[in-house]
Structure 1
Amino acid sequence: MSNSLSTIMIVDDSPSDLSLTSAILESNFAIIKAKSGSQAINHFIHSENIPKVVLMDASMPEMDGYTTCKEIKKLDQANNTEIIFLSGHSSIAEKLQGYDAGASGYLTKPFQPLELIEKIKLAVARFDQKENFEMQSKYAMETAMSAIMDAGEQATVIHFMRQCLICPSVEELVTLVSSSVSSFGLTNTVELRTPWKKIHSSSNGSTSPLEIELLTALQNIGKITQRGKRLILNFGDISQFIKNMPEENPDKCGRLRDHLALILEAANSRLQSLILAGDIKELILESNEHIQKLSESQSIQKQKNVAIMDEMHDEIQSEFFTYGLTEEQEKILLAIIGKYSEKIFESYEKSLKNDAELLLITSKLKKSVDRLF
């Protein structure tokens, strides 16, 4: 039989009628013969070669054509199969019975061969049309479901982006990455690297030493590497290990890789911002500590200067008698000493004001960094 011919089944308990009908049709169709209703039903159940059209003898012993037609139509694999009754009865009641049984055609014996062939060709065309419609409907449904799933996945990515922008710490960031990827149904482990430590998060709740070792060993193999169900992603100072990518669904697999790349790119950008913010805050803290220490040192130095000036003043006064200075000369000399002492203390007070201004500047800078990050 040629594979290019449409397959039809002839069901007839009469060997002569079965042979005659087969001879008429064998040049146009691939023929399957069944001598009884039960044999026809068994073929549908056990064979993968499902006929497009069944020519059914209405009158057969044990199981008539109407009962056979009803049983065949109950089978999912025969959902699109066209059934045409061949009968010696031409009454409306007989035709309605065939229609109620699920048939799409009724031909009264004896029939013209060309008429039978034409009816079968039309039935084959209807079968093909229904099959094509089902395929298109299935494709449309798969496309719609894919669009719905993609929309849900995109909503997850958008939500992640929003949360990522306001994430206040690297600890919360690594948890956000892991939980967002988990919402795709993916089992994953994430590693964030900062100048001061490495932070891990896993969808299983804990990260095993082997997973940590793998993330460290594979962080230089490229941005996105997939081996079967396993996927490794490396974006800047973030690495992620996915254990159960849906490799059996290439479209979904590719879509998820795109989503994961967006998530890790955004996460790495936020990580760098948090690291920079930490460095700036640390610098501000160190600056404040140095300014505070300088202020304390200057305060101590002021006390020492006051003591030195008082000691110098007392010593000069005690020496006035030695040099035989007049009272007027003593007053002039003490006034000069007092004048320059005031200048020294004015300079000191000015330095204290500068320290206060520096503290104010670092305080404002800290507030700006807090708002920015």
Structure 2
Amino acid sequence: MALQRILAVDDEPFNLEIIEEILEDLDLQLVTAESGPECLEVLESFSPQVVLLDVSMPGMDGYEVCRQIKANPATKDIVVMFVSARGSVEERMEGYSVGAEDYIVKPFAHGELKSKLSNLGQILLEKESLEQQVEDATSTAFSAMATSSEMGQIVNYIEQIGQIDHVTELAQALISCLSSFGLNCNMELRIDDDRQHFASSGLCSPIVLELFEILKSKGRLHEFQNRILVNYENLSLLILNMPENDEEKHGRIRDHICFIVSVTEQQLLSILTRRELQEQQQNLSEVISMVHSKFTGLMSLLDDNRKHNEEVFRSLQEQFESRIPTMGLDEDQEVFIFTNVDQAIQNSVAREESITKVRTAFAEIEADLSLINKK
């Protein structure tokens, strides 16, 4: 669609008259507004393809108007060209930074404005053509996906296993997916030293188990007759009935299988990683509980010892205070004894302060361990 609708915004009516005069001989629909708020209001009823926007307007300047136009999903695609008497590099950069597509400096020649509008019209045409191409391509892609039962099954499978958190459930989902393709499959899951086997028929035959063991480290893909074996580090899959007499279908199904097994391997690793993290968290919780128990017991022991020391010193002090005056000691001897008793009591108090620091340190260690466990 060619350029047909223009909105001109300027707080000076004379400037709007000039624009109307320049564009009067063009086959265009021109609407005018004299303020930023009026411009935004007009946009709701008139859908211009281009807005000629004055920069210097009272109240709401052109930059703010442009920001709001580009921020609104309904108007963000409208082309904005600033019309300003100021044309410094900084002001042009400001215009481009708020989303404007072009900038013209007053006063401008008639031909300059028409030329710029012509260029903007060409841009609109090219943009419309590109959007149509993208729309057509998107429509074709979604149509192909919608009509392809194979791709639909794969997409459904990927969405399904993203919610699975158990190995057995994952294996059953894979077998169900492949069965929807009409494929008879056998599977081996290797988790540490454990081997788990699943099959469409219920059980893997002894020869299949031997095949898994022989070929698990012999490469990613093996094809023989109408069978195919795909190997990953934790998963091997054997298909027993690949399509025959249809090379195109055989190749397509083979590609599907390789992709499905790859996705399944990644989900299996994700499940095993989550399981390991849960076990580590459980172990850490048990360690925290044990440390708390040990800390509590140790602090109780230290507290009992402190109380016992207090009782001993209190009893000793009472005995000295009652006996020393009757022992006939001179003043220096009494001072010596009382000084040493006081010193011993002070040392005991210092030990109590140390116990308080130990208790604080233990509490900080427990808090750190709890924080690690939450992470």
Query: Under a length normalisation based on structure 2, what TM-score does the superposition of the two structures give?
Result: 0.52
How far off is 1:258 after superposition? 0.3
- Give, as a single letter, the amino acid of the residue that structure 1 aligns with 2:348: I
The equivalent residue for 1:351 is: 362
Give, in whole Å, the separation in 1 of the partners of 2:246 and 2:255. Answer: 15
- Give, as a single letter, the amino acid of the residue that structure 1 aligns with 2:240: K
- Give, as a single letter, the amino acid of the residue that structure 1 aligns with 2:287: H
| 1:222-301 correspondence to structure 2 within 5 Å | 222-301=219-298
Give, in whole Å, the separation in 2 of the partners of 1:148 and 1:352. Answer: 59
**Residues 39-82 of structure 1, C-alpha deviation per residue, up to 9 Å, x if partnerless?**
xxxxxxxxxxxxxxxxxxxxxxxxxxxxxxxxxxxxxxxxxxxx
Give, in whole Å, the separation in 2 of the partners of 1:278 and 1:196. Answer: 16
- Give, as a single letter, the amino acid of the residue that structure 2 aligns with 1:344: I
How far off is 1:218 after superposition? 1.9
- Give, as a single letter, the amino acid of the residue that structure 2 aligns with 1:237: N
Q: Cα distance 1:178–1:300, how it changes in 2: closer, same or farther (>3 A)?
A: same
Q: Is the 8 A contact 1:156 1:180 kept in 2?
A: yes
Aligned to 1:241, what secondary structure does the other structure show?
strand
The equivalent residue for 2:120 is: none
The equivalent residue for 1:152 is: 149
Q: Is the 8 A contact 2:183 2:240 kept in 1?
A: yes
Identity %: 24
The equivalent residue for 1:101 is: none
- Give, as a single letter, the amino acid of the residue that structure 2 aligns with 1:201: F
Q: Is the 8 A contact 1:192 1:199 kept in 2?
A: yes
**Residues 180-214 of structure 1, C-alpha deviation per residue, up to 9 Å, x if partnerless?**
11111010011121125222221112333443332
Out of 191-200 and 296-305, give the one that drifted further: 191-200
How far off is 1:360 after superposition? 4.0
Q: Is the 8 A contact 1:174 1:191 kept in 2?
A: no
The equivalent residue for 1:161 is: 158
Gaps in structure 2 of 5+ consecutive residues: 1-143, 325-332
Give, in whole Å, the separation in 2 of the partners of 1:361 and 1:170. Answer: 28
How far off is 1:346 after superposition? 4.0
Q: Is the 8 A contact 1:177 1:190 kept in 2?
A: no
Aligned to 2:148, what secondary structure does the other structure show?
helix
Q: Is the 8 A contact 1:188 1:203 kept in 2?
A: yes
- Give, as a single letter, the amino acid of the residue that structure 2 aligns with 1:156: Q
Aligned to 1:246, what secondary structure does the other structure show?
coil
Out of 307-316 and 241-250, give the one that drifted further: 307-316
- Give, as a single letter, the amino acid of the residue that structure 2 aligns with 1:345: T
Give, in whole Å, the separation in 2 of the partners of 1:227 and 1:219. Answer: 15
Q: Cα distance 1:248–1:304, how it changes in 2: closer, same or farther (>3 A)?
A: same
| 1:84-103 correspondence to structure 2 within 5 Å | none
Q: Cα distance 1:149–1:238, how it changes in 2: closer, same or farther (>3 A)?
A: farther
How far off is 1:150 after superposition? 8.2
- Give, as a single letter, the amino acid of the residue that structure 1 aligns with 2:362: S
How far off is 1:307 after superposition? 2.3
How far off is 1:232 after superposition? 0.7
Aligned to 1:220, what secondary structure does the other structure show?
coil
Give, in whole Å, the separation in 2 of the partners of 1:182 and 1:335. Answer: 83
Aligned to 2:170, what secondary structure does the other structure show?
helix
Q: Is the 8 A contact 1:230 1:245 kept in 2?
A: yes
| 1:38-117 correspondence to structure 2 within 5 Å | none
- Give, as a single letter, the amino acid of the residue that structure 2 aligns with 1:306: D
Aligned to 1:352, what secondary structure does the other structure show?
helix
Q: Is the 8 A contact 1:174 1:199 kept in 2?
A: no
Give, in whole Å, the separation in 1 of the partners of 2:308 and 2:205. Answer: 72
Give, in whole Å, the separation in 1 of the partners of 2:163 and 2:282. Answer: 23
How far off is 1:273 after superposition? 1.6
- Give, as a single letter, the amino acid of the residue that structure 1 aligns with 2:366: D
The one of 333, 351, 357 equivalent to 1:340 is: 351
Q: CA RMSD in A?
A: 2.8
Q: Cα distance 1:330–1:149, how it changes in 2: closer, same or farther (>3 A)?
A: closer
The one of 166, 170, 175 equivalent to 1:173 is: 170
Query: Under a length normalisation based on structure 1, what TM-score does the superposition of the two structures give?
Result: 0.52
